[in-house]
Amino acid sequence: MGPITVAHVDDQETVFAAAFGAGEIARASHLYHREVVYRSPTTRLFGWPRRIDGRDRALEFVQLTITGVQNIHYALDERAVIADDSAYTRILFDFDVGDRRLRSVYVVRYRYRQGLICEQELYYDPDDRLGEL
């Protein structure tokens, strides 16, 4: 596979939007290399390690994070291809919890191997409150 392109990132994020919207992150499993490394500050909220290794465990964790929320709307806000094998995205992640509509804004750094995500690291301020919509 050649260098990562903006079109590649856009296609990937369309898949993520559909998977999150359906509440089934497994719909995006084909985007991940089997040896993906996943990192997120959210892991601390669930007692998981900061680094999660492997596609199955990463998908299991992401699914856990969306269990209990409804009406997810995942939107790509900004993106940039940084090198032949890496990209950044800024995501607007809106969801309902009970009668509240919330927004989480975060940045994701991706690294790719053979066109698949081999590293995914989320960045946000874990001390900041979720925006209420």
pLDDT bucket at 18, cuts 50 / 70 / 90: very high
Residue 122 placed within a domain: yes
pLDDT tens for residues 51-109?
A: 999 999 999 999 999 998 999 999 999 999 999 999 999 999 999 999 999 999 999 99
Residue 61 placed within a domain: yes
Q: Cβ contacts of residue 112 below 8 Å, gap of 6+?
A: 4, 85, 86, 87, 118
Residue 82 placed within a domain: yes
Q: Is the pLDDT of residue 29 over 90?
A: yes
Helix, strand, coil content of the chain in percent (nearest 5)? 30, 45, 25
CA–CA separation, 66 vs 93, rounded Å? 11
Residue 38 placed within a domain: yes
Average pLDDT, the chain: 94
Counting Cα atoms < 13 Å in the Cβ hemisphere of 120 gives 25
Residue 102 placed within a domain: yes
CATH of the domain at 116: 3.10.450.50
Q: Is the pLDDT of residue 131 over 70?
A: no
Segment 15-30 shows an average pLDDT of 98
Residue 92 placed within a domain: yes
**How many domains in the chain?**
1
Residue 1 placed within a domain: no
